[in-house]
Amino acid sequence: MKKFNQKIRYDFSIIENWTHANSKVLDLGCGDGSLLNYLKFKKNIKGFGIEKNPDNWLLSLKNNIDVIQMDLESGLAGFETNSFDLVVLSRTIQSMRNVEDIIHEMLRVGKEVVITFPNFGYWKNRLQILQGFMPVSKELPFKWFDTPNVHLCTIHDFDNFCKKNKIKINERLILTDKKSVNFYPNFFGALALYKLVSK
């Protein structure tokens, strides 16, 4: 591959840093396949995508991604245990029904797992709620009536979830406007990125 010609999202480089070279990566909800192609380009990974939406699925195929059309809500039944080095779920967890199931499935199939989600505890979200409205932001671009999001959570919520489910957090990075946030991240952070492994 000569040049990377798909759109690069700013969180790609962080996921890149968390990806071992030449590893096998499964991207759940891979959209147009840009993350996988980015990781192929940068880290020479072997990538597979899962995508439910037919139009996105086709975009992935056109972008030379090996992509399986299936609904994540039914788990990862077709995938063998520990068959991937890394399983990624990027900005999708908040719209899933069976959050617990899919995280356990990811940890079953992948040796490591990356999950990213918009932090509902971000101060701009809190402010909009204080003002009496459901938050609408860059990370949460939907109105209350057309949102696919059903399981929004804060960074504290997710930390507790991992603790309760005996999931080890190997890496955690909180971002706002592409910059890392270390000061009260649950208040000042817009996007949360986690790298997890089973304990």
For 146-152, the CB contacts below 8 A with 24+ separation are: 148/95, 149/94, 149/95, 150/94, 150/95, 150/96, 150/97, 151/93, 151/94, 151/95, 151/96, 151/97, 151/99, 152/94, 152/118, 152/120
Shortest separation between residue 2's beta carbon and another protein, angstroms: 14
Q: Which is nearer to another protein, 67 or 113 (CB)?
A: 67
Q: Which is nearer to another protein, 3 or 166 (CB)?
A: 3
Q: Which is nearer to another protein, 78 or 141 (CB)?
A: 78
Shortest separation between residue 68's beta carbon and another protein, angstroms: 5
Q: Which is nearer to another protein, 64 or 170 (CB)?
A: 64
Q: Which is nearer to another protein, 48 or 120 (CB)?
A: 48
Residue 34 identity (one-letter amino acid): S
Give residue 92's region: left, alpha or beta (phi > 0; psi -120 to 50).
Answer: alpha
Could you count the other beta carbons within 10 Å of the beta carbon of residue 55?
A: 9
Shortest separation between residue 175's beta carbon and another protein, angstroms: 32
Binding residues for another protein, rule: CB under 8 A, are 24, 46, 48, 54, 57-58, 61-62, 64-70, 77-80, 83
The residues facing 167 across adjacent strands are: 198
Shortest separation between residue 123's beta carbon and another protein, angstroms: 42
Q: In sequence order, what DSSP letters do the residues of 146-175 get, joined into one string?
A: T------B-HHHHHHHHHHTTEEEEEEEEE
Shortest separation between residue 35's beta carbon and another protein, angstroms: 17
